[in-house]
Structure formats: structure tokens, C-alpha cells
Amino acid sequence: MNPQWPNNPNQWINPFQQGIQQGWNGAQQMVPQIGHGMQQGAQQIGHGINQMGAQMPTIPQMGQGINQGVQQMGQGINQGAQQMGQGINQGAQQMGQGINQGAQQMGQGINQGAQQANQVIQQGAQQVNQGAQQGVQAARQGVRAFSGDIRDALQRTGHGLQAVPQQVSNVAQKTSNVFQEITIPTSEISKLSITNFQDFFDSADFKGIQPNWDEVGEVYTKSIAAVGALIAAAGWAFDFVKFDLFRDFFQIIGLFFSGIAWPKGFGVVWGKITGAVSVDLSFIHITPLVWFWILWSICAILFILFRVRLRKDPAALLDGHEARTWTDRSRLELLWSTALITLLISLYLPMSRSALQVIVCYEPQQTSYDENSDDFKDSYKSEFEKKGGCWHAVHIVHIIFAALIMLVITIYFPILTLKLIQRNKPQPRLFDQEGQEKQYTDVEYRRDLDKDKCPYKFVYKGYERKWSGYKAIIMAIKLLLIVVVISFTSLLAQISVVLGIVFVFALISFLSAPFINRTDDKIDQSARVTTVVTVIFGLILAKKYSDSSAPSAYSIILNTLHAVNIFLMVLLTIASFKFCQKKWKNCTGRIDFSEKKFDYNLPKERKLRIWHPFWESLMSHQENLIPAYERLRKMKEIASYHGYEEYKAALIPPDEEIVHERVWVQKAIEGVDGFWDGMDENNELKSKTCFGKVWIDPFPFKCTIVYDDSGPAVIPDELFLPFCRRNREEDVLKKRKIRQKLRALNGETVFFEYVETHSKSKKGFEDENKKAAVKFTFKYGVLTVKANRDVDWAAGFNVTISYSDGVGDDDSGESFKGEKTTIGHAEIGIRDDFTYTPELQRLLKNPENKKLIQQNLPSFLDEAQAYRDGLVEERVQQETILSNGFWLFIFNNDRISRENLTIYLQEHESDEAISRIPEVHEEGLELSLLKTRLL
């Protein structure tokens, strides 16, 4: 059953709309006046700053220049404030009339609408609850199976809708009460002839606006809860880009709540909201230092988990044929990677702020007492003095940990994020489907983003290609604001610099429009403008008030500003949902046209519209041709990255020696323990050992070595033959043999006597902390050869021996046993040139170890050969399914004759399903050939 809505909804909607329209008209009339005043004020501020800059030509004159510049800047601010006040005065009069009329009509409309809406919502809530209860059980089964089907979305939608009716009812009732209690003396405001900005805000009329801020705060809290319920109901459509926009706005605004004496009404409404989003939970009575250690622990754990996760990320150049793409990963793996980077980005600002406060000895950060207690100041001083004060004792330890987390999170993490973006964002394809050069357009980039399965793509998905690193810029802006807010001792200087930063940031946002979705640009711009205006009011309040005693009218303006901003951000967010856009298009009858510029090329269009679709449709719909279709897709991808000429050149057989060596490398060298001490394609050699994993891309042929101690290097074509000869030379074979013997001992318990001195606590010492030096002898340990990445046959050769049998005696004869230690290359005698050293000979020539080598080495060599043989067999099989020449001679050649097509397929294609296409699919082939002849 559906809920019974009123026959005429306009009975309660119209008054509500009229009230909103009146208030909006008043706000629109006020905006140009404020803008004019802000423009003139900004000019005066800029003039003051320019004069201040002119006073600082040399370092000796800097102090005098700063003083004069500050005076000039203060005069500019005062003049700008007066002129901006005149604009605000005129706008406030008009806004007051609009708000008063709108508030009265809005209150009436809300009361009428709320009464009827409550009845409807209650009916709907009962039915939604019934439907939700029935859907919950089905959704739980879907979650257990981790199927990710639509039942999961229905469960979240049911929970969200279940919370919406009560929240809407509460908000409507509270909003009605608030607007009934607000009384604005419009008759008096209309008579004002105030020309001075300061006189206006000091007037009795302005100060007489006294709403019930506790009631307002409760309304805002209910509103946020209602919005949260709506978001939960639409959780299936969660947009990380918009989540970032809302989070960044609240975090940046939250930076200013600690230093500025905001009016009580503004702080009650927005203080806790911004604090929660900024992870500033001082209101729950946790001291700043305790909160620093909580954040430190969380961020350290998250970053370690993130770094471990990165080791498993796809890396085609490093892993070669063992690389797993994002499409090969489970949904749980992808979700885990997304969650880790999202949490680290969200904690970036609060962690950086808290760490910097520790480093500069921000006073509240150094106390272990509750700052809300009555005797906080006295108890703080006495305790802190006992600990040595700033830059002594405990504080030094805090500084070390804070500096460490700042290096990792504040500095390195944005750099790492930028690298992740550059590594994972779609790479340009410089050739079209015919292999001809083309420009990689933004439209293609957006299309590739839609196909992207990378769990980090939300970091760059919402931005234009040239602004893909915008997330790192935002983190840099946050860091700059943190430094200014914490390091400046003068509040006025702090807010002035902050105003300059947020203004430049807003200017960048407007000029660059970095988001792909224009709606996201508008949301971002709304947040930036609100931030700038809020900081301007913060500057005014900092000059006039030292506490939260500012008139409530300031709260009215600030709360209205932020309410309008949140309303616009939420409205734009909802309007961006596809179902809303579709509904709007259906209602308005709008038709959208693509921006494609038609440059009609008959030969090209003939090929793309007739010949290519024939082969793709044929192969993708015939079960026995699906493997060939996958091969064809791979060829198209190769052509789009390498181009027609390179593709064609790769099909031309090189001389006989190169053909022979290519086969030999694939059968004898590919895999671990390859060697190359020559230059790569960039004319560089970065490896010290010159050993690594060799992997071959058979078409177009490319030989890559991933060094154990550096990274990947491509062997140039002109150096391929020297590379092959070098891997046959006697000295390289000896070095490879040493590595293979060590690999044969991997995981085995080997005999290798080793002596090491450890400090041990000695029994009978009066001082328990007193240590005795004990020389331990280790004999048997487990040898391990570890690779650089967690994939089979990966590059890397890190050899260790782990002991747990150490025995030793101290000077008094007391015995110790069971000591543990681990040794590496230096102790084992493994050098970068992999030649025999006395220690290495002692390990490999030991009879027990030698027996293990003779036992395990043949099996290791057999496994390595089986790995290479498997790769060769797979390549032959792929060529059998569909040859690489098919793309060039058939698929990309719509002018081929029927006779030549049949001859090519019969002579060059091994798969009978391909060679018999002219016979089996004669009718479709003839029709396609006929179409190409007619055009």
C-alpha cells in the first residue's frame, strides 16, 4: 500500500515556498552590497600590504618596514571595514525586511505543512517499517554471501528511510518554534541612517535580536541527523568526491573555532559539528596531549597497514607476467585499500595540527590535567615546571614523536598520494583504433575513469586530468593554514594571513574549476566563498571582542550564511544524482547533445561503422570464437599504445640471429637471476648487483630486467644481442650458480657458526638494570631468501639466517642458552659482485649444507625451467588462437578482397574456427564486404 497524500499538496507547500522566496529575495539584494563593500575593503587591504612590502627592501630595514606596513595595513582595514559596513548596512536593512516577512510566512507554512506532513509521514513510516523489516532478512543473506547485489542497497535504504520521518517531523516542529520566537524590529531598522559600520553593529536595534540559541542548536542538530538519514537511505549512491568536499569545508572552518571569540549562537550551532568532522573532540574532556597520543597511535597503525597494502598493489613493470590487475582483486581487498587511504586523508589535518602544537609547545598540549577544571592553570604550571617546562625532559620526547609523525603523515603522505595518483590514473592512449596518432582528449579520459577499477580512484576521479593531483594541493593548503593558526601569536595577524590564504584558494577554485562535474565545482565554490566571508567576520570580531559577548545579530548573519551554504551544497548534491537528473529532464523535456565535432572521414567511418563491428560482433557472439575475441581486444589495446607503424614493424621478422636469441632468452633466461651490467634505454645503470628478474613481452618484443636493488630497466633493441652474450659468459654463470645454491637452501636449517656479543641481565646483581656482556655462539639457523614483492618469481634477493640456539657464558661462568639473532649479507659474506668470500665458502662448502644443496638444487632448476616452458607454451597457444597479424591484415584492412581474405585465414590462422569463417559465416561476410564496396 502507498501512503495517502493530501488531495491538494499546494495547501501546505505554497506558504512554505513563499516564505523561502521572501527570505531569498532579501538575501539576494544584500549580496551585491556586501560584495561592493568587500571589493573596496580588499583594495584597501591590498594597498596596505603593498606599502608594507615596499618598506622591506633590505634585512636591516625589515623591522621598520614591517611596523610601517602594519600601520598602513591597519588603516586600509579600517577604511575597508567602514566602506564594507555601508554596503552591509544597506543590505541588512533589505534583508531584515525580507527575513521578517519570510519568517512569518515560513512559520505559518511550516506549521500547516508539518501538521499534514506528520500524518502522511506516520502512515508512510509504518509501511516503510513493514517493508524494511521484510527486506532486512533478505539483505542479511546477501551480505553473508558477499554477493553485493541490490538487496544490500535495499537494506541500507530501508534503514535510512526508517529514520527520515521522525527526523523530518522534529526538524519541522523545531524550525517553526524558532521562527516564531525571532522578532526583528524592521520598523526601526528601516528608519536607520547609519553611515559608520561600527556604530551599526553597536546599535541597540542590532543587539536587540535575541533568539533562543539552544533551540536553534537543537534544530541544527536535528537537521544534520535528518540529512544523515537521507544519505544512509541513498548509501548505494555514495559519492567520495562530494564526501571530500563536505569534509574539507568543515575541517578548514573548524581550524578557526579555537582562536576566535565567536558569538555563542554561532559556536553552539557549528562548533561541535566542525569539531567532530575535524576530529577535535575537546568537548568530551580529553586533554590535548592525550588526544595527540590517540591520534598518533591510530595514524601510525593505519600508515603501516597502508604501506603493507601497497606491496600488494598491481605493478606491471615490477611483477611482469605475475602482475594481478585491480579486476583480479576481491571486493574486500578493494574496500580495504579504499578505507585505509580515506581514513588517512581524513586524519591528515587533525594529526598535523596536534603534532605541530606539540613541537611549538602549545601550552594546553602539554598538560595531563583536564583543561575544563577550575584549577587548571595553577595545577598546569606547577606540574609542567616539575617536568622541566618547554624544550626540556618530557617535552623533548614528545617533540621526537611529533616530528616523526609529521615527517610520515604531514610531509611524506601527500607526496605518496601524488605518486599513487600518477601511477594509477588512466594513461593516455596516443593512437586511435586504426593505430594513427591522435590527441588524448578529456572525454576519453573521463571514459577511462568510468572503467577504472582502482580503489584509490576516488582521490583523482572527480578532477580534470590536468588537476588530478588537486587532493595533494588541498592537503598543502591545510598544512599552510595549520602553520599560520598555530605559529602566529598575534590573533589579528593570524586571521589576516589566513584571510589571504583562503582568498587565494577560493580564487584558484573559481579560475581553475578543477572538477569534472560542474556541480562539484559549484559546491566547492560555495564552500570557498563561505570560508572567506566567515574569516572576514572573524577578523571583525577579533578586533572588537575578546570573548563570546558579541551581539546575537552576528550569530544571525553567520548562521544564515552557513545555513544557506549547507542548503546549496546539499541541494546540488541531491541534484547530481542520476535519478534526479533523469526526472528533471523528463519534466522539462530537455534534450542534451554531445559536444563532438563532426570531422567526417569516409574511409575511417566505413571501417569503424561497418568492418570493425562485423568482426567484433561475430567473435563476441559465437562461443567457439570468444577466445579469439579476447585476443582481438588485446591487439586493439597494443595498437592504441604503440601505433600502426610500430605494430607493423613488430610483424616484420628480424634477422635469423635475433630470432634465435629471442627464443633462447625465453627458454633459458627469463625469470629470476638474470644479469645485465650495461645501459638501459635511458642510458643509465642504477644497480650495484646487476642481477634481477627478466621478463619478456613477446609482441612487440621487449626485454625488461627488474633489478634486485633498484627497479625496472628496458634493454634497448640495439643492446639485446650483447645482453644475451653477457648471460652466457663464464663469470656471470659462476655468480648465477652462487645465487642458485643459496636459493636451494631457502627454508632449510643450515650450519653456519657465528659468534655475537649480547648484553644480558645477570642473576644476583643488586641493580636489576645492570647488564653483563655475554659472547654467544650460534650454529644452526633457518636460511631465508626473500623477494621484494609478495608474488611468485619476484625480483629481490635478501638472504638472512635466523638463529634460536645461541649459548654462552659470562665472566663468572653463568650459562645462557636459547638466544636468538638474525644475520644478513654482511655476516654471511654475500657481496654485491657475488664472488666467493671466506664466510660464504664456509656456508656453501660445509658438508651438511652441501648435501642440502645437492638435494634441493635440481628441483629448483626444474621449477624455474617449468616456469619458462609454461610461459612459452602460453604464448604459442595465444598465437594459435589468433595470430598477431590478424589485426593488421584483416581487422584493420576493410579493402581486402574476398579471395585474399580467405587465403590469409587458411594459410596463417591455426584455429579452424577462424580459418573457416568465410565458409561458415559466408552470408554475413559477403554483406559486410558489399557495404564497404558501396561506400
Render pLDDT for 241-256 as a digit per residue (tens, 0 to 9): 888 888 888 888 877 7
Lowest mean pLDDT among 308-317, 403-412, 733-742, 763-772: 763-772
Residue 22 has pLDDT above 80, yes or no: no
Q: For 878-900, how does the pLDDT look when each residue is reduced to its tens digit (9 = 90+)?
A: 999 999 999 999 999 999 999 99
Residue 790 has pLDDT above 70, yes or no: yes
Residue 932 has pLDDT above 80, yes or no: yes
Residues in the chain: 935
Residue 272 has pLDDT above 50, yes or no: yes
pLDDT of 334: 87
| CB-facing half-sphere around the CA of 450: CA atoms within 13 A | 6
Lowest mean pLDDT among 152-166, 267-281, 407-421, 754-768: 152-166
Mean pLDDT for 583-603 is 69
Strand partners, 432: none
Residue 230 has pLDDT above 80, yes or no: no
Query: Which has the higher per-residue pLDDT, 442 or 405?
Result: 405
Residue 12 has pLDDT above 60, yes or no: no
- How confident is residue 182, by pLDDT bands cut at 50, 70 and 90? very low
Which ranges in 406-455 belong to alpha helices (H)?
413-424, 442-451
- How confident is residue 391, by pLDDT bands cut at 50, 70 and 90? confident
Residue 583 has pLDDT above 90, yes or no: no
Instruction: Transcribe 760-817 into DSSP letters.
Output: EE-TT-SSTT-EEEEEEEEEEEEEEEE-SSSSTT-S--EEEEEEEEEEEE-TT--EEE
- How confident is residue 135, by pLDDT bands cut at 50, 70 and 90? very low
What are the backbone angles phi and psi of residue 396, rounded to the nearest 5°? -60, -40
pLDDT of 79: 55
Mean pLDDT for 156-171 is 42
pLDDT of 597: 55
pLDDT of 281: 53
- Are 426 and 440 in contact by the 8 Å Cβ rule? The answer is no
- Scanning the structure block, which residue is given the C-alpha cell 645462557? 816
**Of 57-66, 97-106, 121-130, 471-480, highest mean pLDDT:** 471-480
Lowest mean pLDDT among 259-263, 612-616, 862-866: 259-263
* Helix pair 552-575, 518-544: axis angle to 10 deg: 170
pLDDT of 280: 57
pLDDT of 364: 58
Residue 566 has pLDDT above 60, yes or no: yes
- Are 200 and 194 in contact by the 8 Å Cβ rule? The answer is yes
- How confident is residue 873, by pLDDT bands cut at 50, 70 and 90? very high
- Are 123 and 108 in contact by the 8 Å Cβ rule? The answer is no
Query: Which has the higher per-residue pLDDT, 817 or 367?
Result: 817
pLDDT of 184: 37
Q: For 652-687, how does the pLDDT look when each residue is reduced to its tens digit (9 = 90+)?
A: 878 889 999 999 999 999 999 999 999 988 888 889
Could you give the CA distance from residue 178 to residue 213 in angstroms, rounded to a whole number?
9
- pTM of the predicted structure, to 2 decimals: 0.65
Lowest mean pLDDT among 54-68, 548-562, 571-585, 615-629: 54-68
pLDDT of 907: 92
pLDDT of 347: 92
Q: From the centroid of its chain, how far is CA 863?
A: 40
Q: For 33-85, how does the pLDDT look when each residue is reduced to its tens digit (9 = 90+)?
A: 544 544 454 454 444 434 434 433 333 343 344 345 434 444 544 454 455 44
Determine what percent of the chain is predicted with pLDDT higher than 90: 39
For 290, 292, 365, 391, the CA distances from 380, given in Å and listed in that order, are 15, 17, 11, 16
Q: What is the rounded average pLDDT for all residues in the chain?
A: 75
pLDDT of 227: 46
What does the block give as the cell for 872?
612459452
Could you give the CA distance from residue 606 to residue 219 in angstroms, rounded to a whole number?
64
- How confident is residue 234, by pLDDT bands cut at 50, 70 and 90? very low
- How confident is residue 172, by pLDDT bands cut at 50, 70 and 90? very low
Q: For 635-648, how does the pLDDT look when each residue is reduced to its tens digit (9 = 90+)?
A: 999 999 999 999 99
Could you give the CA distance from residue 574 to residue 579 in angstroms, rounded to a whole number?
9
Pick from 38, 21, 31, 37: nearest CA to 94: 31
Query: Which has the higher per-residue pLDDT, 296 or 360?
Result: 296
Residue 787 has pLDDT above 90, yes or no: yes
